[in-house]
């Protein structure tokens, strides 16, 4: 007999895990899968990054696969012949009890992350969702409040967070390796820009263009948009900053505790080619000036450079030292006593004399069991807050990143209190935080 394993527990039982939850709420919660049994997972999106995620999870049980591209779906299904197949993730999630799911993996283009994640959260299902968590700031607010009502194990697909190097950098910065941090420059050479419409283009055979578009206003097919090039369009992605910001800015965000700004405001400005209503820019520079925590201090400034733009500070010291810091690294912390360069796998203190005298602190951040495994373990243990890039952290990190694109599109500096999900005094910029979804695609609780 097929038995679904859903149970209910009260806030009193798990309230201590999630202090921000309203005291009167109850939420669905699954009883645990016995340790000897694999978890039953559904994967939404099956090719490219989605396929990488499936490889990381295939030691559990993939019981449902969903893709709007029939060719990709058939290929994945041939490896998991027992998995049920779907084209529409709404149908999959509507059948979650029958499928007896333990978790859902969302690896679709950014514009469909929010609804797939929201429907899973609403059903009390753990979610692993690719970065950026959503395409818009407003969607983040909805996911955050859904999670507060239904706290389950979640993880955003920023797998570098689980590596050793980010841990060592965070410890070094916190131990004062460069004194007090005053600014952080982040950069990325890629350029996901210049998206243009292509009237007359026809969707590739096997692609359900209607379903692919999901919540977004309907348009004729755009040549080459699927796969991957959707990043070049505001309707589906958010350019290079949206694509890479959650990986790279994660490092200063973590090291400087920027998920806990406690009402401090941020002023954001951005520069690039004249904003286009359709396509993302070929290059972008953005800065976030974060109000100081102590009166009298200067704001902490984060800066972003993509599409070939470079940090003037990094260029200047690179030219002086004859070292291509820009080519080798992607983050430069600047502090009162020096600088620290980092990338996904290494770090370097500057100037060199300082590095020679530096004794790294003893590691304090425990090694990760693996980014995907953190999520799986949290599902098994019933620990919604255990994954380090779960919704509470991921909503704040994604918000910071996306606000850079909002300032760019607004064409003027914006000011925002993180978590407020609004821009006061600038209705046009506020509208850029997100537009309504098409009927049938609205987020539960929006
Ligand atoms: N963590 C990482 O290092 C990393 C790397 C690459 C991409 N990503 C993220 O992964 C996501 C996918 O990126 P990609 O480059 O693989 O995109 P892609 O366009 O190459 O592939 C998307 C997959 O999802 C499918 N799909 C599209 N819409 C769907 C829908 N509504 N329902 C079900 N399936 C759908 C596509 O057919 C395809 O299989 C993005 O959010 C991206 O930012 C993360």
Q: What is the pLDDT of residue 446?
A: 82
123 and 25 co-located in one domain: yes
38 and 91 co-located in one domain: yes
Domain end residue (candidates: 333, 357, 381):
357
CA distance 51 to 57: 10
CATH, residue 264: 3.30.360
Q: Is the CB of 240 under 6 A from ligand 1?
A: no
Residue 106 CA to ligand 1 centre (angstroms): 8
Residue 48 CA to ligand 1 centre (angstroms): 7
11 and 142 co-located in one domain: yes
Q: What is the pLDDT of residue 354?
A: 79
251 and 168 co-located in one domain: yes
Specify the number of domains making up the chain: 2
Ordered per-residue pLDDT tens for the chain, 446 residues: 333 333 322 222 222 223 333 333 334 556 689 999 999 999 999 999 999 999 999 999 999 999 999 999 999 999 999 999 999 999 999 999 999 999 999 999 999 999 999 999 999 999 999 999 999 999 999 999 999 999 999 999 999 999 999 999 999 999 999 999 999 999 999 999 999 999 999 999 999 999 999 999 999 999 999 999 999 999 999 999 999 999 999 999 999 999 999 999 999 999 999 999 999 999 999 999 999 999 999 999 999 999 999 999 999 999 999 999 999 999 999 999 999 999 999 999 999 887 888 999 999 999 999 999 999 999 999 999 999 999 999 999 999 999 999 999 999 999 999 999 999 999 999 999 999 999 999 999 88
Among 57, 66, 67, residue to substitute to test ligand 1 (most atoms within 8 Å of Cβ): 67
Query: What sign has the CA pseudo-torsion 65, 71, 76, 82?
Result: positive
Q: 3-class SS at 152?
A: coil
225 and 343 co-located in one domain: yes
Cβ atoms of 81 and 74 within 8 Å: the answer is no
H-type alpha helices, 228-385: 239-248, 250-255, 312-321, 325-328, 352-357, 371-381
Closest CA to 313 of 210, 185, 417: 185
Cβ atoms of 133 and 156 within 8 Å: the answer is yes
Cβ atoms of 373 and 381 within 8 Å: the answer is no
Does a structural domain hold residue 415? no
CATH, residue 43: 3.40.50.720
| Residue 142: both structure tokens together | 């909805």
382 and 300 co-located in one domain: no
74 and 218 co-located in one domain: no
Atom of ligand 1 nearest to the CA of 243: 43
> Rounded to an integer, what is the distance from CA 325 to the centroid of its chain?
26
36 and 118 co-located in one domain: yes
74 and 134 co-located in one domain: yes
Residues of the domain holding 334: 164-194+211-357
| Residue 147: both structure tokens together | 């999670």
231 and 346 co-located in one domain: yes
Residue 300 CA to ligand 1 centre (angstroms): 34
154 and 172 co-located in one domain: no
337 and 306 co-located in one domain: yes
Q: Is the CB of 193 under 6 A from ligand 1?
A: no
Q: What is the pLDDT of residue 29?
A: 52
The four Cα atoms 159, 161, 162, 165 give a dihedral, to 10 degrees, of 120
Would the pTM of this model clear 0.85, i.e. be above it? yes
């Amino acid at each position: 007999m097929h038995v679904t394993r859903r149970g209910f527990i009260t806030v009193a039982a798990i309230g201590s895990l999630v202090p921000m939850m309203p005291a009167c709420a109850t939420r669905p919660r699954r009883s645990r899968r016995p340790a000897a049994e694999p978890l039953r997972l559904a994967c939404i999106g099956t090719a490219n990054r989605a396929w990488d995620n499936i490889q990381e999870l295939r030691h559990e049980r993939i019981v449902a696969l969903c893709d709007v591209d029939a060719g990709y779906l058939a290929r994945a299904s041939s490896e998991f012949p027992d998995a049920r197949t779907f084209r529409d993730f709404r149908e999959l999630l509507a059948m979650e009890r029958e499928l007896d799911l333990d978790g859902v993996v969302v690896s679709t283009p950014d514009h469909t992350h929010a609804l797939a994640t929201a429907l899973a959260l609403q059903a009390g299902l753990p979610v692993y969702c690719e970065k950026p968590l959503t395409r818009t700031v407003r969607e983040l607010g909805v996911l955050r409040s859904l999670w507060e009502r239904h706290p389950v194990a979640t993880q955003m697909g920023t797998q570098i967070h689980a590596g050793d190097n980010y841990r060592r950098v965070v410890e070094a910065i916190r131990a004062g390796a460069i004194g007090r941090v005053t600014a952080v420059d982040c950069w990325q050479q890629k350029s996901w820009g210049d998206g243009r419409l292509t009237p007359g283009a026809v969707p590739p055979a096997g692609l359900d263009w209607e379903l692919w578009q999901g919540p977004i206003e309907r348009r004729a097919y755009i040549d080459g948009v699927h796969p991957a090039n959707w990043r070049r369009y505001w309707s589906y992605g958010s350019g290079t900053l949206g694509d890479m910001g959650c990986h790279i800015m994660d490092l200063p965000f973590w090291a400087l505790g920027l998920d806990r700004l406690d009402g401090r405001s941020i002023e954001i400005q951005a520069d690039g080619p004249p904003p286009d209503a359709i396509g993302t820019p070929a290059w972008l520079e953005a800065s976030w000036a974060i109000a100081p925590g102590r009166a009298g201090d200067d704001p902490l400034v984060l800066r972003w450079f993509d599409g070939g733009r470079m940090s003037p500070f990094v260029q200047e010291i690179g030219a002086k030292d004859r070292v291509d810091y820009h080519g080798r690294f992607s983050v430069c912390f600047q502090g009162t006593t020096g600088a620290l360069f980092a990338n996904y796998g290494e770090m370097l203190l500057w100037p060199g004399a300082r590095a020679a005298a530096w004794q790294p602190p003893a590691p304090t951040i425990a090694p990760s069991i693996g980014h995907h495994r953190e999520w799986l373990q949290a599902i098994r243990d019933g620990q919604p807050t255990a994954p380090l890039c779960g919704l509470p952290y991921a909503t704040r990190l994604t918000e910071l990143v996306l606000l850079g694109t909002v300032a760019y599109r607004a064409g003027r500096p914006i000011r925002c209190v993180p978590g407020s999900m609004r821009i006061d005094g600038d209705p046009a910029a506020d509208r850029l935080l997100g537009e309504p979804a098409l009927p049938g695609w609205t987020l539960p609780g929006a």
